Amino acid sequence: MAQNIPFVDLKRQYASIKTEINEALQKIMDNTAFILGDAVSNFEKDFAAMHGCKYGVAVNSGTAALHLALLSIGIKQGDEVITVPNTFIATAEAISYCGAIPVFVDVNKDTYNMDPALIEKAITKKTKAILPVHLYGQMADMESIIKIAEKHNLKVVEDCCQSHLAEFNGKRAGSFGVAGCFSFYPGKNLGAYGEGGMIITNDEAIAQHSKMLRSHGESQKYVHKYIGYNYRMEGFQGAVLGVKIKHIEKWTEQRRKNASVYNQLLKEVVKTPIEANGNKHVYHLYIIESPKRDELMKHLSALGISSGLHYPMPIHLQEAYNFLGYKAGDFPVAEASARNILSLPMFPELTDEELRKVCDAIKGFKQ
Ligand SMILES: *Cc1c(COP(=O)(O)O)cnc(C)c1O
């Protein structure tokens, strides 16, 4: 039997750093530093600095990071926040948690990211912020987005949950807007061993506000300035992330190398990802397109190759967001991509043999 090829294999990575991880976790137990603590605050500093930001506020998910960043810039009941429909639902949920309304704009068909040419038509008197998503590991066109935001006096918060270390014009994700929000969900490019997230910013007020909100709105112990949340990061996650951050540059290069092997072998066969001008794509996901996507997925599965769909249904067509009143046809690019996209196995430790097998399997499918 040929070896199956998983979509993501976290076991290979753990095997390569087992001693470091086990020692870091042991230290947390020895110090009983279970919530926040030194491991978390050291990681906050290192991760923010790595992305060109002064402050990092570690929380317990990417969703929590988005929620607190939006609250910290003053998003409230009835405000509108412009975002995209082709993302993980958490992007829109964070807007809804503030009592605000997600307003969607369609995306570019080659990068799958927010199309800046469509933003101004979506701006109303209620619009307060733009929340672009750097989908699959490639940053949105931040130069154009920031220009529009400045013209209309809007804040920009970046959803960087898939774009650790990604760059646009030499600057890293999260350093363009007033805040960048990251997820450390285990399968993300930098993954914890549980839930985790972070807000990074150069604005001290946003950092302070988020820090209070993540811990019940307290300005000091038992003094509550705001009604806040329990969104603190656990010590164990800070310890794991503190070890893994030392390897993330290398792992990112391995993802890029894997993507270039896929590109070489598949570019004549299917639509492969496009790295837009000025971008450094970090390939959280490697996306191809096929008009016979569902059959291709089955064909790969029959050969023991796992693949994924990110995402099969855009948010404006989800039942949860029926009340916004959108309908099929409102965002044709996002809707067409949802039908045609397929995510191939992508993680740093994929072998050349595995990459070749995936490509051979795709070539053996009648497009
Ligand atoms: C993963 C992800 C989130 C949510 O992060 P969690 O840590 O799972 O809460 C938000 N937005 C995008 C684009 C994501 O990929």
Separation of CA 90 and ligand 1 centre (Å) = 6
- 360 pLDDT tier (thresholds 50, 70, 90): very high
The burial class, CB within 10 Å (0-12 / 13-18 / 19+), for 175 is buried
The rounded Å distance from CA 62 to ligand 1 centre is: 5
Separation of CA 337 and ligand 1 centre (Å) = 19
CB 87 within 8 A of CB 74: no
* Number of Cβ within a 10 Å radius of residue 16: 14
Q: How far apart are CA 108 and CA 263, in angstroms?
A: 20
Q: How far is the CA of 203 from the centre of ligand 1 (A)?
A: 23
Coil, helix or strand at residue 197: strand
CA of 79 to the centre of ligand 1 (A): 22
**pTM (predicted TM-score):** 0.98
Residue of 185, 190, 195, 282 to test ligand 1 pocket, by largest number of atoms within 8 Å of CB? 185
Which atom of ligand 1 lies at the shortest distance from residue 64's CA?
Answer: 9
pLDDT in tens, 112-155: 999 999 999 999 999 999 999 999 999 999 999 999 999 999 99
How far, in Å, CA of 223 to CA of 235, rounded?
Answer: 23
- Altogether, the residues listed in the chain come to a count of 367
Atom of ligand 1 nearest to the CA of 197: 7
For residue 367, name the pLDDT band (cuts at 50, 70, 90): confident
CA distance 189 to 146: 25
Residue matched to tokens 């709105």: 217
Nearest Cα neighbor of 76 from 48, 96, 49 is 96
The whole-number average pLDDT for the span 320-326 is: 98
SS3 351: coil
DSSP secondary structure letters along 160-194? -TT-TT-EETTEETTSSSSEEEEE--TTSSS--SS
pLDDT for the residue numbered 2: 61
Atom of ligand 1 nearest to the CA of 195: 7
CA of residue 363 to ligand 1 center, whole Å: 32
Select from 60, 63, 193 the residue to mutate for testing ligand 1; criterion: most ligand atoms less than 8 Å from CB. 63
Closest CA to 156 of 146, 144, 143, 168: 146
Q: CA distances (Å), 205 to each of 49, 53, 209, 217, in order?
A: 18, 14, 6, 14
> Which is the closest atom of ligand 1 to the Cα of 90?
10
Which ligand 1 atom is nearest residue 185's CA? 7
Reply yes or no on whether the pLDDT at 81 is more than 60: yes
Measured in angstroms, how far is the CA atom of residue 221 from the centroid of ligand 1? 30
Q: From the CA of 39, how far away is ligand 1's center (Å)?
A: 23
- Token pair in block for residue 14: 């753990």
Who contacts 133 (Cβ-Cβ below 8 Å, separation ≥6)? 83, 84, 87, 91, 113, 114, 140, 159, 161, 162
Give the confidence band of 366 by pLDDT, cuts at 50, 70, 90.
Answer: confident
Question: What is the structure's pLDDT at 1?
Answer: 46
User: For residue 63, which atom of ligand 1 is closest to its CA?
Assistant: 9
CA of 2 to the centre of ligand 1 (A): 34
pLDDT, tens only, 258-313: 999 999 999 999 999 999 999 999 999 999 999 999 999 999 999 999 999 999 99
Ligand 1 pocket at CB < 6 A? 61-63, 87-88, 90-91, 133, 159, 161-162, 183, 185, 195, 197
Residue 341 clears pLDDT 80, i.e. is over it: yes
Give the residue whose CA is nearest to atom 2 of ligand 1: 161
Task: Give the whole-angstrom CA distance, residue 89 versus residue 83.
Answer: 11
Task: Report the nearest-CA residue for atom 10 of ligand 1.
Answer: 90
Determine the Cα–Cα distance for residues 285 and 8; give it in Å rounded to an integer. Answer: 10
Checking if the pLDDT of 244 tops 50, the result is: yes
Give the count of beta carbons closer than 10 Å to the beta carbon of residue 202. 16
Average pLDDT, the chain: 98
Q: How many whole angstroms separate alpha carbon 348 and alpha carbon 251?
A: 5
| 164 alpha carbon – ligand 1 mean position (Å) | 12
3-state secondary structure of 260: helix
Of all protein residues, the one whose alpha carbon is nearest to atom 5 of ligand 1 is 62
Looking at the chain, list the stretches that DSSP marks H as alpha helix, in order from N- to C-terminal side.
10-31, 38-50, 62-72, 90-97, 119-122, 142-151, 204-214, 235-244, 248-266, 293-302, 332-340, 352-363
